[in-house]
Structure 1
């Protein structure tokens, strides 16, 4: 961690700001670190805090700064759009919104696609649930165990992770399905084919006991759940079962979209043998920090609502300008390919480190979406205290990461901007190795 005192603002310390934060914001609004930090600016894959400390950013504002901090192409597009008009709502024609919708519809892989823009992934998933339940005339939803889909009343109600679901009250009736976590649970000891077969049999058995649900919603790789994933093809096998019964498949691509997994542009494409999802949701990285979310669905599903609707802030001109510039940069610079190459090197480097440390149970992931699961050495028991200690030590060393995972937050979440260089990947791995060793792993 390096310090540049010239960058430090003169209007009070982070400690004082945290006291003000605690006095006026909710207790449940979590912040990282025993001594929280205020990030004041960034460039490329680095950010600086209010004290002038420089960090390598391996979390990107929760997978949101997808390409780079202060990317000139995006900041220029935002500045130019702000000089024309910032917002008008969906009650007026909006050229940047139509431009971005056309590009996303084509990229989605969904035939005859329609796109609706929101302000967040939570709102996108909320909209997808509205569409599915209206289209199917059912309030029953299938969701994956260990899942996370947002913080609205409906999305909390289908979240299969009790650490992020503060209430059991919901307008939806949710049934949880096996399969989102490959290396834990009742089918963990099976090979991949056996795992898929067991999960499909469980799904078929479940559907034999209930009225037909509206949809299955699933993250191709579970984000908050600790970057866990099933074997490739699981959701294709699920889709075959669902399609026979008219049940929709919603792919939650809020964290997995836009090439982050390296192998595919969308996470669903690892499970696409039986075609694309009926509904796809996206958010986070497309705006590179601007508030963009959205839903893609085939026309008959998207158009099923029989009442009026608008979006005041979804698709606003300034966010669409950012999204267009960011998507153009992503595609022209093949950041998906970079995620595959650099992410592959980073995963192998971290697995080599983990092989020497009994407190690391698993290094998993794909592209630049990597989870490092920690356990108490000599056991298979999650170690959230250890994960918190490593997070602190990494920050002291100049590296920012996230954490998550199941009921116990014991997985380090690594998701840098997709423009990460090989040298930066090596630097981050070295800092993380020192942090792991210093906390007695």
Structure 2
């Protein structure tokens, strides 16, 4: 499918550790030229980006878009639009839909939905259970981002808590395994104790005690030990405690790592003190924990123990979140605002712009071996974002694109605005307006 050519002039590009002035010419959906002065070139669309920053599109390796089966919460269509409005050009979506993505046929059905309806580029994880190893082993490593293993904290038959099954998965998996690590036995024992103590309606602030540090550390340690035993390509999702950070390696270059780790924006933003005003709105698994863990996560991020920053975008309806603690589902809608969150932290001097691009764009591409994405490079797919650090953006009902219609950040004013998002060479979003005439592309992966 052809796309209009696009010429970006006077950009301040953030790429591969540097910030520099440049022009960018996009043709046939690819970055054709990056140079100091391309104003002589002809293009269908010309954008003067003076005063704005240009970066590769964000790649979010962990989202839950709820389709099929849970579309009262979200759809691939709605959440992909929200992602694009926030500068996320590419997502990798999880298998805990209804039915769970436990067969290759169900997996392919999700790809077909995205091919018709996703404004962003996409990939989907194959789900693992205690009894679908044969299906998992059929996963195509060049066309699927990875295998998702819930080592705790899932519903139905997506939970893999049989150690024999885990060993076989780690030994035989044909591609990257991404794990949710919380020890189920520890959590269940904590739940029983807190039900006895508080009854049917405890405060949401018990969440980091029910899903505590011990549950996270025990499970993450097991995953890392299994990966080392079998030389598995392991990616541990949403680390929430400082205790877990040091299970990982901050010396080996990312491209050479067999075990990698991710931190999510809400664990960098919120802490236990926020349960009092926000309650179940910030209930998520693994839990947002005490402030000292948030500070430890920041330290570990700066010291290189975490390779990727993502969201674990997991929307639920407002009504579902108003239920009593035990009944309220876990998860926050975040994919539209993850880049804004990190740009806020950049303004506060907690992180630099090149570091944001490294952890949200370059590193996911390297970590998953994504084919020709994640960098501003000639010949690569044109997944690009322009933002203005001098144009504040306030989150309010009218500019939230999630189907659930709410955000835990509502009312907050960020220092920056995402102005343009280009997805695979298509100008999909400009200042609150979408062009839905083209959909995103399925990711491909450079794997042996």
TM-score, scaled relative to structure 1: 0.30
Structure holding more helix per residue: 1
Q: TM-score, normalised by structure 2?
A: 0.29
More strand by share: 2
